[in-house]
Structure 1
Amino acid sequence: MSSHLTTERTTTAFDVLAAPHRRYLLSILYERRHSSDSTPSPQSRAIAIETLATEIAVREHGSPIVTEDQSRDIQIRLLHHHVPRLLDVGLVTEHTGGDARALALADHPILESEGVTTLLENPTGEAVSTETELNRTLEALQPARCRLACDILSRRDGDLAVTDLAVMIAARENDCRLVDVTETEWKPITTTLVHNHVPALADAGLVEYDRSTESVAITADAPQWQADWLAASPLGALATDLETPQKRARTGAAGLGSDAATETDPTGAGVCWTIEGSENVVARGHEIADTADEELFVTLPDAGLIQQRCLERWRAAADRGVDVYIGSRSPRVRDTVRSAVPDATICELRSDWLNFPVERIHHGRVVFADRETVMLVTVDDADGDPRATAITGDGAGNTLVKLVRELVGPRIDRLESASNDGDSPDERATLL
């Protein structure tokens, strides 16, 4: 789980900023602190609550002249609701002068966040969305589980059953593998998602929720994801995860060089691309391993395609809770991987991924992550100069991914089931 995405400080920041009157108040105090004519003294930077109420009314009504009733109404709300909350959090300090109560911005860690300061500089959010959308977005993202749900959904190209989302959230919260999540852990999360969090995210336009199937998907083109304040917040990394499979395909091809990768379906319908050269193939394998979130399945016919860098990435994946499965017919490879990645499930290949006996065909490597990203590798050594070539696809709806998922998915399920049943490694080895 991200060290910043679900912290209490991030939750507090979203909660404080979700109320527009609090946001306006903090914005006014922030401007006072950074104005050229202000002095370092906190008391000299303080603004009377009555004055703050008038300035907030001006911003709220979009008029330089407001009525006494409008100012008084906001002042009452500040005194009874917003100021106590800000004082409790420690974002403002209170100063008195005569009968007037005044507030100044405190030195608080939340104000060190670039996302917070960016929002205080433009508290209406007019750059990319309406203020109503901004308020709903801040309120919807206030619960840590909502931010975690968006992070998980942003890594997927299609929709996800709410129950599956609940299991993934439980695994992230408990820092454990998906197979170790119990029903008592994920079921209450499902209830909260269905009745509270997912509808709130959908109302804000951040996700698309199908109540009939109880499935949810990220709204990749929601304008909020492009907001400067959100990009500077702990959720900023979502932008890169929200690229379409087609964009990722083109980006991956460009990153490998014009001679390394070629799209095989430029129409965008089930984009796949080929990769030439061992270094480029290995680089793509590293990319898949580094971005795996739940499962990583790799087959290794022999030691020719295994490197120390591969072992390091597989171990890193296992350490962050990914279920890692490595299959090979080479005892040396199995022993090497078992030693380097002790948390991985190691299996002996009995057939290739197309169900041909391995003795009848030169078996290539399969790299399959989260059942939605795949790379198939073959090695041509006819001239005594081995050259690796791969075809790769991305996205749950990708044709290549669908094919491999149908063929390999049941085997992974059996491995997982055997692991849960406590079968020994030798017993699980026969499952491939």
Structure 2
Amino acid sequence: MSTPVTPAPAEPKPEAPAADAAPLLKVSWKTPIVYALAALAALLGFLPGVDAGARTTFQFTGGREFFAIPNAPVPSLLTIVVLTVVMAAAAVWAFLLVRSHRPAPAWLHVVVGLSFVLAFLTYAGSGRTSVIPMVSLLAGALALSVPLVFGALSGVICERSGIINIAIEGQLLFGAFAAAVVASATGTGYAGLVAAPVAGALVGAVLAWFAVSYRVNQIIVGVVLNTLIIGLTGFLFATVLSDNKALWNTRMPLPRIRIPLLSEIPVLGPVLFNQTILVYLMYALIFGLQFMLFRSRWGLRTRAVGEHPKAADTVGIKVNTRRVWNTILGGAIAGLGGAFFTVGSGLAFGREMSAGNGFIALAAMILGKWNPYGAVMAALLFGFSKNLGNVLSTIGSGVPSEILLMLPYVITIFAVAGFVGRVRPPAAEGIPYTKS
């Protein structure tokens, strides 16, 4: 009889990972480091310069509100200490979150940013007889952000389509020029508001023509267009506009439109709802572009030609045609933003009055990660930091003027270093597409 063979025991199978085990996220240490640096700056930079009995007064009234908020005097030293503790606690919490491979929530960024700004305002206004006008501070920040918002949204549309739009500076300047000339010649600022996007669209069309038809390096084309527009508008300003200012370069401001009820909300009402039609168009554009880019067929196709144009071409999307039209649309939006420098602000045209705002708008677009809402937040951050220096200079703050001039750039650097991290542009950005 044959001896039965005993089968070898089966090797134990490795245990499958639990279904609810979440993968570890790659998180950056930049956020807790920036939080800690903000707390350290408040501790070492603000506290030593404040007297024990000093007070800072904040003003929240702007004129015609439902009810007046009384001025709020606060003890400067105690306020800065409390805000510093808040930032330090946020840094510790962010550190614990990163150690457990969890990102810091977005609202924590807002808390730390507001705490730092309030601590700085408390320090700047401590012991002063003048008050910190919060309504003027916010209204001026919104005004300075308008061309940045239009420029950043222009960049989002173009670069989501695969075209690098370095020419935003030229589009803003040409829009400002066209708005001033047409408004002055016709006697109404609304005519200038129509001419501005047309001028910006012309610059966008030239950019698209060279970038798509001749596949020229898009950065070079953008720089050349900026130089061309600066030279052209400077020449016309020194000749035609200066020879007959009454006809071609008269101030034609857009009237302010006060929204009933909404404009009477304390603090925010005078800031948001007592504006010109240009600002209200900006509101509509922000929400409309966010919806269209991520919730419509146009947005899906736009993002497709910017990420993978060959795949888009295989499903019947005309890649180059869409790029051309989106670049023209982006130019029109930037040109509309340029109208703020003239008819939107009630000013005549001046040489190079865009003053580098197009390049700042590009930075805002990158800081916002090519997202309309993110780009707008970045533009508002830069506008606020710039107006903060203006307000503090007006009230006679003891902060050195050099630091006030540095504020926008320092705040932007901290924001990019701490809150953005690694960003990825659209994959096909700047790469010409040739149908095979």
Please classify the TM superposition score into its range, dividing by the shorter chain length. Answer: under 0.3
Provide TM-score, normalisation by structure 1: 0.21
Structure scoring higher RCO (CA < 8 A, sep ≥ 6) equals: 2
TM-score using structure 2 length: 0.21
